[in-house]
Amino acid sequence: MRYPTRSESIVAILAGITAVVGSFAMAGYTRSFVMQPVDDFVVNTTPGVISQFMIENVGQAAHHLHRALSVLILVGLFGVFALGGFAVARRFDTAVAGIGFAGLGSWALTVALTGEPVLALGSSVPVALFTAIGTVPQPIEPTSSRRRVLAASAGAIGFVGLGLGAGSLLHESELEIDEQVPGIEGEAIEQQFQQARNQELDVASDELPGLVSTIDNFFRTSISDFDPTIPSEDWTLTVTGEVGMDTEIGYEQLTEMPIEHRTMTLRCVGESLNGKKLDTAIWTGTPIRSLLDSVDPDGECGCVMLHGEDGYYVQFPVDVLEDGFLAWGMNGQPLPRKNGHPVRLLVPGHWGETNVKWIETIELLEEPADGYWEERGWEGTGPVNTVAKLWEEGVTELSNGRVELAGHAYAGTRAIESVEVSIDGGETWNEATLSVPLPDEDVWRMWRYEFEPADSHEIVVRATDGNGNLQEQRRSSPSPSGATGWVKRTING
């Protein structure tokens, strides 16, 4: 054995890069892309303390870090196959053996990772090609060796450009949802939209969401960067575990059940106090209760583990699940992929993590067990904390010189009773105007307050829930069980 030469190393890296791009060209940014299992592995094996730190301090940019690391790992793995190919070619003195080794090896690796034998050609062909480039007999003159590396680099750059283009263009339509979905149109949902529009507070800012968030703006929290693509005809929900016999329901059966539209708010336990992982949509679906008829809720622990097709799982009491809702429509559209297409669970009043997307299994448990986030130190399966938000876009200087403050407040099924605003750092408090509550049991309300500014103001907002409990004043971080404290914002007059 000898160390690879510098030009061999460069060609191997190029092989690695083009292999990842080739897989992307074949699969797009789907769960068949070779990056998915590696990225999920990186994310899932990151210790809880680190992911908690990243979620709270780095935020969205942290995603670029794990993506970059995943690509790096893959470039390394495929590169090693190319280097192995060079070694095999030397050992047996034939390029074909080396090319075969590198090509077959990287094909097998890709199939093992993705389970897609045909799409795996996307990564293995480039590795074989670059191994071929690297195994043609070394020219005697160093300049021509350099020229070869240059040509390989130019080829790789061209390949990367084409591959990235193909990957994003060719698979665009696969990622779109082109399905007829029962019950999402009609009078009932129109009326619900109309009511939400009518009851929205009239605020000066047009950036501030109304009572219903748009699908594009609705936050997304998912353990995987890669949303599952599940055609609704392939979807089933299985109830299993301590239930005697497993039951299974398909999409058609589900959507034949009584259809309801529910306006519901979701909030992620991981968001900062004044964060934006709080949104509301009008969901179309059916209550889950009748599906659980055959289930004995008084089993040993009275708890269930729910599983999503992306490998996500969360555990909470059956009693809580019984009030749940299975949704296949969102704002009059088929449920989008990012929000759980074709079917997700919605649990009234509980933290976002209980609302399993791409739901596939309900497992009745003998004993309680930790869900995905609980294994990582969170305690986010209970009812949400009360919060009144004052986002950046909620502060507007009006043309008459007054300042308008507006925002949203949420307390799950306890509902919002009142919102108070202080413009003097909490010395004195004023009642904000609230939007008329929507009839649904788990929705936010909008609030608005206007004042005459003088110098600078420390604004503080706080909500009281329907039980008469004031929002917790003590500040705490999102982990483990949701941020507490009152939102403050300084305004310079």
Ligand X SMILES: Nc1nc2c(c(=O)[nH]1)N[C@H]1C(S)=C(S)[C@@H](COP(=O)(O)O)O[C@H]1N2
Q: How far apart are the first and last CA of the chain?
A: 73
- Minimum Å gap between C-beta 280 and ligand X is 11
Give all strands (DSSP E) within 12-139, no chain letters: none
- Minimum Å gap between C-beta 66 and ligand X is 14
Binding mask 307-346 for Mo ion (x = CB under 5 A): ----------------------------------------
Binding mask 223-262 for Mo ion (x = CB under 5 A): ----------------------------------------
By beta-carbon proximity to ligand X, the closer residue of 102 and 356 is: 356
By beta-carbon proximity to ligand X, the closer residue of 52 and 123 is: 52
By beta-carbon proximity to ligand X, the closer residue of 339 and 386 is: 339
CA 345 to CA 356: how far, in whole Å? 5
CA 465 to CA 469: how far, in whole Å? 5
- Minimum Å gap between C-beta 73 and ligand X is 22
By beta-carbon proximity to Mo ion, the closer residue of 195 and 221 is: 221
> Measured at CB, which residue is nearest to Mo ion?
268
By beta-carbon proximity to Mo ion, the closer residue of 40 and 353 is: 353
Q: Which does 358 bind (CB under 5 to 8 A by kind): Mo ion, ligand X, none?
A: ligand X
- Minimum Å gap between C-beta 279 and ligand X is 7
Q: Which does 225 bind (CB under 5 to 8 A by kind): Mo ion, ligand X, none?
A: none
Count other C-beta atoms under 10 Å from residue 311's C-beta.
13
Cis, bond preceding 209 (omega within 30 deg of 0): no
Q: Any idea what DSSP says for residue 399?
A: T
Among 44, 221, 333, 481, binds Mo ion (CB under 5 A): 221
- Minimum Å gap between C-beta 276 and Mo ion is 13
Q: Which does 238 bind (CB under 5 to 8 A by kind): Mo ion, ligand X, none?
A: none
CA 173 to CA 231: how far, in whole Å? 13
By beta-carbon proximity to Mo ion, the closer residue of 333 and 481 is: 481
CA 23 to CA 119: how far, in whole Å? 7
- Minimum Å gap between C-beta 347 and ligand X is 10
Contacts of residue 3, Cβ cutoff 8 Å, sequence gap at least 6: none
Interface stretch with Mo ion, choices 59-67, 213-221, 409-417, 480-488 (CB under 5 A):
213-221
Q: Which does 223 bind (CB under 5 to 8 A by kind): Mo ion, ligand X, none?
A: ligand X
Crossing angle (nearest 10°) for helices 121-135 and 95-114: 160
Q: Any idea what DSSP says for residue 57?
A: I
Rg of the Cα atoms in the chain? 27
User: Is the Cβ–Cβ distance between 201 and 406 less than 8 Å?
Assistant: yes
Q: Which does 421 bind (CB under 5 to 8 A by kind): ligand X, Mo ion, none?
A: none
Strands of the sheet with 416-422, listed across from one edge? 430-431, 416-422, 457-465, 487-491
Helix, strand, coil distribution of the chain in percent, nearest 5: 40, 20, 40
> Of 460, 455, 217, 215, which Cα lies nearest the Cα of 340?
215
By beta-carbon proximity to ligand X, the closer residue of 320 and 395 is: 320
β-pairing verdict for 359-364 and 236-241: parallel
Among 43, 77, 237, 268, binds Mo ion (CB under 5 A): 268
Element (H, E) at 425: none
By beta-carbon proximity to Mo ion, the closer residue of 381 and 464 is: 381
By beta-carbon proximity to ligand X, the closer residue of 341 and 448 is: 341
State yes or no: residue 352 binds Mo ion (CB under 5 A): yes
User: Is the Cβ–Cβ distance between 52 and 477 less than 8 Å?
Assistant: no
Written as six digits, the tokens of 58 are: 């780095």
- Minimum Å gap between C-beta 68 and ligand X is 21
Q: Which does 339 bind (CB under 5 to 8 A by kind): ligand X, Mo ion, none?
A: ligand X
Number of helices (H), then strands (E), belonging to the chain: the values are: 11, 19
Binding mask 425-464 for Mo ion (x = CB under 5 A): ----------------------------------------
CA 72 to CA 68: how far, in whole Å? 6
User: Is the Cβ–Cβ distance between 417 and 466 less than 8 Å?
Assistant: yes
By beta-carbon proximity to ligand X, the closer residue of 163 and 334 is: 334
Q: Which residues bind ligand X (CB under 6 A)?
A: 218-223, 266, 268, 308, 310, 312, 339, 352-353, 355-358
User: How far lies 88's CA from each of 98, 110, 120, 208, 455, in Å?
Assistant: 5, 20, 22, 62, 76
Strand partners, 334: 329
- Minimum Å gap between C-beta 339 and ligand X is 4
By beta-carbon proximity to ligand X, the closer residue of 30 and 355 is: 355
- Minimum Å gap between C-beta 154 and ligand X is 41
Positions in the binding site for Mo ion (CB under 5 A): 221, 268, 352-353
